[in-house]
């Protein structure tokens, strides 16, 4: 995913699912200096929707996004504690790059994907974690198969200047350019 990020050179970046801020730090490090990174997530002890299996992933408030400035790029990061199911992503539009890694059940991935898609700039990138997860309650693939997202750039191409297409990708392997901030081992046995 970070190779794609470097290539895309996005200015407005979103992460859903902040946790401790490992990937937030990488998004800030590997994006252009003028980029901004919005990262949104839940914290332990506050009401949130989602599957019970994922509840342990919510960090204590004191740890939320704690590592976002690991590479000295914390000034690029805007952290928000919120439940993505109720969040209006249009306030962050236009987004050039979005990493969807919050609640992984069908309802949330569908909701996050559709709302972020609407906030995506032409040519923007959408990336999901755990697309091919074998875990039953991780339903990213099913959500994307239902979402029916179209590559909107092709709907009304300008004859002389084709509109860039949104680009979609999965981030299932955590393969990243060196040296990224190491990510913690997950609870789901896929890392």
**Segment contacting ligand SAM (CB under 6 A): 28-36, 46-54, 70-78, 143-151?**
46-54
User: Interface with ligand SAM by CB under 6 A: which range of 2-10, 30-38, 83-91, 115-123?
Assistant: 83-91
Structure tokens of 191?
């890392």
Q: Is 64 helix (H, G, I), strand (E, B) or coil?
A: coil
Binder among 11, 49, 163, 172 for ligand SAM (CB under 6 A) = 49
29 binds ligand SAM (CB under 6 A): no
Residue 35 in contact with ligand SAM, rule: CB under 6 A = no
Given the rule CB under 6 A, which of 5-13, 29-37, 95-103, 155-163 is the region that contacts ligand SAM?
95-103
- Single residue of 57, 70, 128, 143 touching ligand SAM by CB under 6 A: 57
Residues 118-157 that bind ligand SAM (CB under 6 A): none
User: Exposed, middle or buried: residue 126 (CB in 10 Å: 0-12, 13-18, 19+)?
Assistant: buried
Helix (H, G, I), strand (E, B), or coil: what is residue 85?
A: helix
Q: Cis before residue 179, ω within 30 degrees of 0? A: yes
**Whole-angstrom distance, CA of residue 62 vs CA of residue 79:** 13
* Rounded Cα–Cα distance for residues 78 and 49 (Å): 22
Give me the helix-helix angle, 106-118 and 140-147, nearest 10°. Answer: 50
Question: Which of 14, 30, 31, 42 contacts ligand SAM by CB under 6 A?
Answer: 42
What is the C-alpha to C-alpha distance for residues 4 and 10, in angstroms, rounded to an integer? 10
Task: Select the span of 4-12, 40-48, 69-77, 119-127 touching ligand SAM (CB under 6 A).
Answer: 40-48
Nearest-approach distance from CB 43 to ligand SAM, in angstroms: 7
How far apart, in whole angstroms, are the C-alpha atoms of residue 118 and residue 152? Answer: 10
Q: Which residues bind ligand SAM (CB under 6 A)?
A: 15-17, 19, 22-23, 40-42, 48-50, 54, 57-59, 83-85, 101-103, 108, 183
């Amino acid at each position: 995913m970070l190779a794609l990020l470097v290539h895309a050179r996005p200015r407005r970046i979103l992460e859903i699912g902040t946790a401790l801020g490992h990937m937030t730090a990488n998004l800030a490090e590997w994006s252009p200096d003028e980029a901004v990174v919005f990262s949104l997530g839940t914290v332990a002890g506050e009401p949130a929707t989602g599957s019970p299996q994922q509840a342990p992933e919510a960090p204590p408030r004191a740890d939320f996004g704690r590592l976002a400035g690991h590479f000295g790029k914390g000034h690029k990061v805007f952290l928000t504690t919120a439940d993505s199911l109720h969040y209006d992503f249009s306030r962050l539009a236009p987004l050039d790059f979005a990493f969807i890694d919050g609640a992984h059940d069908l309802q949330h991935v569908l909701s996050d994907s559709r709302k972020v898609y609407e906030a995506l700039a032409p040519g923007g990138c959408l990336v999901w974690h755990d697309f091919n997860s074998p875990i039953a309650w991780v339903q990213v693939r099913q959500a994307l198969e239902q979402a029916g997202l179209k590559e909107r750039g092709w709907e009304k191409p300008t004859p002389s200047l084709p509109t860039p297409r949104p680009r979609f990708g999965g981030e299932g392997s955590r393969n990243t350019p060196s040296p990224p901030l190491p990510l913690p081992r997950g609870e789901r046995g896929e890392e």
